[in-house]
């Protein structure tokens, strides 16, 4: 288990957004968080790289340990944590720079200066994000000239370039067309060989298609967490069954 | 009345108002330029003014205006950038922040003659800086700084939140995210705003009457040591700027060609401010293209 979450409580000012969450996330697997809007799945995802720190009024109790280290402990450096736990967002958000510079961005700011080394990182990352074939001749072009799906894969490449161990994907296909979505789904399957992937999706079918484990959230609580096949075939909790059979949400 | 008729009438009214405004502006500009352009020559731009004889120029005044602008910007840009970054990225949304923002707003709408008198009392007399370029620059700072703060804050705020999150998620510190993600996107609009604010500084007269003074010592344009008394670069000498010169020559000019000189100087002032405005747009566009690789 690469991530262990214990007795996690999260409040947005007075609102109790996550209620006593206990969860283990296995290494080199795709774990999907599903549940209706506002159930806390994105909030939990954003506690894993402490992106919630930027929101005023957030209070967190409990423990989140990644590889045995409490990431909310006083000795944890947020920058180092976020380097190890990469994130891809809902909207593709490449920087307004060239394709090359987008991928080289993180490594550069973390101290890689040699051109040859950067070239290597950029090619490797773009290959991992299955974008290299499409952009290898236009690396100097603006990232904003790419299509939405390409931009999202560029964002994945950008996240991979700083060599994280865990990749968080926050509804990363919800703004994309079906073909681009399929590409990213295939990519996600490939990436789990080397990375641990935690994804939030509002699309149950997507979770069923590509995840190894599925966690169902409702009103800030984990209702059920198990292997994807088991969860969809024979859910233990009545609420899970109601949700996956489309009775609400 | 039918909706379509009302629509037509209102369109006509709005177009009429727009035409009226453009006509007033064009008329004003045309009047200034037609009256003034005739008197502008290289000699006029470079030679010193005459008190009672005809044929004086505006050389020192033009230099003073530009030098004062540079001094003011040296003071306001770092302060304004710092405060703007603080307001947009560090300040928590609470009462204190709201209060600071209110003060900044009030400061920027101060009448400039009040700022001038404040400068006379506090900067010139109390701090003993005398009538000097430096006093003038400080007075101009009083109403240029709020503008700079607001320009910086708004430019940074208009950068999409997703960009900032992308930077943070890559493991960049907050400061690094500001300098390497937010600022490059915000810089074109900060630069444009700064130059536009500079135009206002350049044309300011009231705040300078009692701070930079209404006279200029004989300047020796071959002496560029800022510590010498007659050096143009000495920031602690009194200095009459172009806008102040126009005001003075119109109200108490003794030279027989005072009216022409005022007209010429006004035209120079207007043209310079126009160049600032056009330059700001151009530079903003160029920077945007440079910094964002969007060709």
For residue range B258-291, what is the model confidence (pLDDT) as tens digits?
Answer: 888 888 888 888 888 889 889 888 988 888 887 7
> Who has greater pLDDT, A27 or B239?
A27
**Chain A CB within 8 Å of residue B218 CB:** no
Q: A249 falls in which pLDDT band (50, 70, 90)? A: low
Tell me: do B6 and B58 sit in the same domain. no
Contact B107, B146 (CB under 8 A): yes
Q: Do B292 and A96 touch (CB under 8 A)?
A: yes
Residues A109, B176: C-beta atoms closer than 8 Å: yes
Clarify whether residues B33 and B59 are in a common domain.
no
Confidence of residue B293 (pLDDT cuts 50, 70, 90): low
Tell me the shortest Cα–Cα distance from A98 to chain B, in angstroms. 6
Percent of chain B with pLDDT over 90: 22
| CB spacing of B170 vs A159 below 8 angstroms | yes
List the structure tokens of A142: 């603006």
> Is the separation of the CB atoms in A49 and B167 below 8 Å?
no
Helix H or strand E segment including A72: none
Pick from B171, B176, B293: CB nearest A162: B171
DSSP B166-201: HHHHTT--HHHHIIIIIHHHHHHHHHHHHHHHHHHH
* Structure confidence at residue A110 as a pLDDT band (50, 70, 90): confident
Residue A31, φ and ψ in degrees, nearest 5: -110, 130
B141 shares a domain with B23:
no
B-chain CB neighbours of A71 within 8 Å are none
Contact A109 B172 (CB under 8 A): yes
Give me the residue from A54, A143, A145 closest to B168, CB to CB. A54
Nearest to B180 among A82, A91, A109 (CB): A109
Mean pLDDT calculated for residue range A143-150: 90
Do B123 and B253 lie in a common domain? yes
To the nearest 10°, report the CA torsion of B251, B254, B259, B262: -70
pLDDT digits (tens, 9 = 90+) for B197-247: 888 888 888 888 888 877 777 777 777 777 777 777 878 788 888 888 888
Confidence of residue B249 (pLDDT cuts 50, 70, 90): confident
Hey, are the CB atoms on A56 and B163 less than 8 Å from each other? Answer: no
Which residue is closest to B181 within chain A, CA to CA? A95
pLDDT over 90 at A212, yes or no: yes
Q: What integer best gives the mean pLDDT of chain B? A: 86
Same domain, B149 and B182: yes
Domain boundaries, position B117: 42-292
| Least confident piece of the model among A235-239, B9-13, B223-227 | B223-227
Are residues B18 and B72 located together in one domain of the fold?
no
Burial per residue of A83-118, b for 16 or more beta-carbon CB atoms within 10 angstroms, e otherwise: bbbbbbbbbbbbbbbbbbbbbbbbbebbebeeeeeb
**For residue A83, what is the nearest residue in chain B, using CA coordinates?**
B171
Chain A residues whose beta carbon lies within 8 Å of the beta carbon of residue B94: none
- Whether residues B214 and B178 share a domain: the answer is yes
- Stretch 103-162 of chain B: residues touching chain A, C-beta under 8 Å: 160, 162
Structure tokens at B98: 């709201």
Q: Do B170 and A101 touch (CB under 8 A)?
A: no
Distances B25 to A73, A170, B18, B21, B37 between C-alpha atoms, Å? 64, 53, 11, 6, 17
Please tell me the least confidently modeled range out of A51-60, A61-70, A144-153, B255-264: B255-264
> What are the tens digits of pLDDT across the range B115-149?
888 888 888 888 888 888 888 889 888 888 898 99
Among A98, A213, A36, which residue's Cα sits nearest to residue B295? Answer: A98
Give how many domains chain B has, as a whole number.
2
Residues B12 and B86 in one domain: no
Domain identity same for B99 and B201:
yes
Q: CB-CB: which of B92, B168, B292 is closest to A51? A: B168
Average pLDDT of A182-190? 90
CA distance A213 to chain B (A): 24
As a whole number, mean pLDDT of residues B79-94 equals 89
Closest CA to B124 of B110, B138, B141: B138
What pLDDT does A247 receive? Answer: 77
- Would the CB atoms of A106 and B165 count as touching at under 8 Å? no
In contact, A192 and A228? CB cutoff 8 Å? no
Please give the DSSP secondary-structure letter assigned to residue B38: T
Could you give the angle at which helices B258-292 and B242-252 cross, rounded to 10 degrees? 160
CB contact under 8 A, B170 and A56: no
Report the alpha-carbon distance of residue B156 to residue B184 in Å, rounded: 10
Asked whether residue B294 carries a pLDDT value surpassing 70, the answer given is: no
Structure tokens of B10? 């209102």
Same domain, B85 and B110: yes
pLDDT at position B288: 82
Other beta carbons less than 10 A from residue A171's beta carbon: 20
Q: What is the CATH number of the domain that holds B157?
A: 1.10.3720.10
Q: What is the pLDDT of residues B166-193, one digit of tens each?
A: 999 999 988 989 988 899 889 888 988 8
For residue A96, give how far its alpha carbon lies from the nearest alpha carbon of chain B (Å). Answer: 5
Supply the pLDDT for residue B295: 45
Query: Model ipTM?
Result: 0.88
In DSSP terms, which residues pair with A21 in a beta bridge?
A8
Indicate if B112 and B9 belong to the same structural domain.
no
Alpha-carbon gap, residue B165 to A158, rounded angstroms: 13
- Which one of B88, B93, B171 makes the best mutation probe of the A interface by having the most chain A beta carbons within 10 Å? B171
Q: Which residue on chain B is closest to A111 by alpha carbon?
A: B172
Residue of chain B with shortest Cα separation from A81:
B171
Are residues B137 and B221 both part of a single domain?
A: yes
Q: For residue A80, give the nearest of B170, B177, B181, B162 by alpha carbon.
A: B170
């Amino acid at each position: 288990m690469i991530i262990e979450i214990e007795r996690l409580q999260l409040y947005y000012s007075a609102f109790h957004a996550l209620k006593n969450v206990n969860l283990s996330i296995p290494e080199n697997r795709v774990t999907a968080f599903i549940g209706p809007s506002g159930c806390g799945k994105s909030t939990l995802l954003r506690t894993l790289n402490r992106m919630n720190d930027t929101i005023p009024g957030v209070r967190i109790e409990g423990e989140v340990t990644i590889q045995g280290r409490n990431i909310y402990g006083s000795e944890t450096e947020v920058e180092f944590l976020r380097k190890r736990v990469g994130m891809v967002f809902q909207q593709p958000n490449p920087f307004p720079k060239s394709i090359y510079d987008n991928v080289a961005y993180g490594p550069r700011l973390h101290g890689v200066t040699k051109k040859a080394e950067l070239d290597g990182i950029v090619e490797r990352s773009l290959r991992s994000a299955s974008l290299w074939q499409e952009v290898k001749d236009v690396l100097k072009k603006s990232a904003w000239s790419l299509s939405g799906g390409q931009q999202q894969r560029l964002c994945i490449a950008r996240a991979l370039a700083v060599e994280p161990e865990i990749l968080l994907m926050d509804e990363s296909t919800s703004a994309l067309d079906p073909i681009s979505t399929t590409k990213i789904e295939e990519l996600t399957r490939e990436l789990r060989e080397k990375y641990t992937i935690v994804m939030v999706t509002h699309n149950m079918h997507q979770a069923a298609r590509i995840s190894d484990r599925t966690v169902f959230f409702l009103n800030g609580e984990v209702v059920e967490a198990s292997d994807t096949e088991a969860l969809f075939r024979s859910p233990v909790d009545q609420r899970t069954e109601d949700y996956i059979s489309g009775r609400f949400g | 009345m039918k909706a379509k008729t009302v629509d037509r009438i209102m369109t006509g009214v709005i177009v009429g108002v727009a035409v009226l405004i453009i006509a007033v502006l064009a008329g004003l500009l045309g009047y200034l330029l037609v009256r003034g352009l005739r008197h502008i020559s290289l000699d006029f731009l470079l030679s010193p003014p005459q008190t009672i004889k005809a044929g004086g120029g505006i050389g020192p005044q033009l230099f003073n205006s530009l030098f004062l602008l540079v001094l003011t910007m040296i003071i306001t840009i770092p302060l304004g950038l710092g405060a703007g970054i603080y307001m947009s990225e560090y300040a928590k949304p609470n009462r204190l922040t709201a209060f600071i923002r209110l003060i900044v707003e009030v400061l920027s709408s101060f009448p400039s003659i009040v700022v001038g008198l404040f400068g006379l009392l506090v900067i010139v007399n109390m701090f003993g800086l005398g009538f000097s370029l430096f006093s003038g620059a400080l007075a101009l700072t009083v109403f240029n700084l709020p503008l700079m703060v607001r320009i910086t804050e708004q430019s940074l705020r208009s950068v999409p939140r997703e960009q900032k999150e992308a930077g943070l998620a890559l493991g960049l510190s907050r400061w690094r995210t500001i300098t390497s993600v937010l600022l490059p996107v915000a810089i074109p609009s900060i630069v444009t705003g700064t130059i536009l604010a500079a135009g206002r500084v350049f044309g300011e007269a009231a705040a300078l009457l009692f701070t930079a003074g209404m006279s200029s010592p004989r300047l020796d344009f071959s002496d560029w040591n800022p510590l010498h008394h007659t050096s143009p670069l000495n920031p602690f000498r009194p200095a009459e700027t172009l806008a102040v010169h126009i005001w003075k020559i119109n109200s108490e000019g003794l030279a027989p060609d005072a009216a022409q000189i005022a007209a010429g100087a006004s035209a120079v002032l207007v043209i310079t401010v126009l160049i600032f405005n056009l330059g700001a747009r151009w530079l903003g566009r160029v920077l945007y293209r440079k910094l964002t690789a969007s060709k």
